[in-house]
Amino acid sequence: MTTSINGTSTLPSGKAAILAKHDNDVVIVAAVRSAMTKGKRGGFKDTRPEEILSGILRAVYTKVHLDPALIEDISVGNVLPPGGGASGARMAALHAGIPISTSIATVNRQCSSGLTAVNQIAAQIMTGQIEIGIGAGVESMTFGYGPATQPDDWSEAVLSNQEAEDCLLPMGITSENVAADYGITRAQQDAFAARSFHKAAAAANAGRFRDEIVPLKVKWVDPKTELTKEIVVGADDGIREGVTAESLSKLKPSFKKDGSTHAGNASQISDGAAAVLLARRSTARRLGLPVVGKFVTASTVGVPPRVMGIGPAIAIPKVLSQIGLSADDVDFFEINEAFASQAVYSIEKLGLPYEKVNLNGGAIAIGHPLGMTGARQIATGLSIARQTNKRIFVTSMCIGSGMGMAAVFVSEH
């Protein structure tokens, strides 16, 4: 067991302890996601985020035939919420058939919002506040992303602090800072991005995303005819086959004239939602619910805002140290590819074998709906664990304004 500041034992420690099963474990009953589609151009371009979220919330509890009245609380990661509040998430839950007695909240920790939501529900189960809950994430970058979402000004007093001002740097500039400060070359970034596309295309063609994706029927306006029709969105539409480092090398930098970050080695602007149904193990057993995995723990860290992308390189060692694991004990890693620069830096800094990271590709190839990603990685990780017969995996991401988050899970397939 690891020890807290006041000296009490709090978490299991060591690989054997992590794999052991106990009545009070926080377990994953189901984890599903929508497809991820291109912002303003893809399958969800005419679908509001609350509708995508509603479909996924309904899918996650109906998949295991759970009475929705038993869901006590829901937390939804959402970075760009319509109207700036939680009403959209509440509306989605009610539309999904979840009763009014089930409470809900939205959380925003930028790109880790989905994982933060799962962590919040897990903590409530650990402390005995609830027995069953959903951690989810949603984003429509079609409707929520862009200049219209920016405030008209910021406090001059606060901006007098340089690190506070650095929080306003465009994410692409922070990518350029990581590349410059840590010597990550354009060639390294393009090679990494090309591998992400290759892995994602291979996974899609082999049907390896099928188990985690819930097809959703939505209305879609044909941009050529302007006619509205119903379509089923059941596959990620940002994956491209045939991408090579050579083809990426021809793209112009997006943020600096002499920079190395461009549209092909940065995460895609996307729409989608994901949900993770969590319960206490004893409760899941009593209700006859399946157990597909276990939430072990999560950790957050702060890093300099100007190089926010290094977050995983700091967060992953912290979360592993909390439970007495080494990187070698982890079977594979899901590290969000906000930018190739920061993903390469994090992998190299941690000394991780590339073959253990993002086995089915990452955000560069499949997309990064901001609030969704943290929950999506869990669904993807559980699918990969079943497909490869692996057990322990880590999810992690950098966070805008200078943070990182990481979590440890066990598959119980």
Active centre residues (catalytic): 111, 368, 398
Tell me if 180 sits within 8 A of 172, measured CB to CB.
no
* CA–CA gap between residue 382 and residue 211 (Å, rounded): 10
> With b meaning 16 or more CB within 10 Å and e meaning fewer, what string describes 383-403?
bbbbeeebbbbbbbbbbbbbb
357: number of Cβ within 10 Å: 23
Asked if 88 contacts 378 with a C-beta cutoff of 8 angstroms, the reply is no
**What are the residues facing 132 on neighbouring strands?**
279
Tokens 């189901």 belong to residue: 30
Contact 46, 241 (CB under 8 A): no
Helix, strand, coil content of the chain in percent (nearest 5)? 40, 25, 40
Whether the Cβ atoms of residue 77 and residue 138 lie closer than 8 Å to each other: yes
Nearest residue to 266 via CA among 175, 346, 397: 175
What are 307's two structure tokens?
């190089």
Beta bridge partners of 33: 213, 274
* Cα-based distances in Å from 20 to 23, 188, 293, 296: 10, 40, 12, 11
User: CA-CA distance, 301 to 73, in Å (whole number)?
Assistant: 26
Question: In terms of DSSP H, where are the helices of 70-185?
Answer: 87-95, 113-126, 141-144, 156-159, 162-166, 171-182
Q: Which CA distances in Å does 63 have to 66, 108, 205, 232, 407? A: 8, 27, 24, 18, 24
The label of the residue with tokens 């609380």 reads 73
DSSP codes joined into one string, 305-324: GGGGGGHHHHHHHHHHHHTT
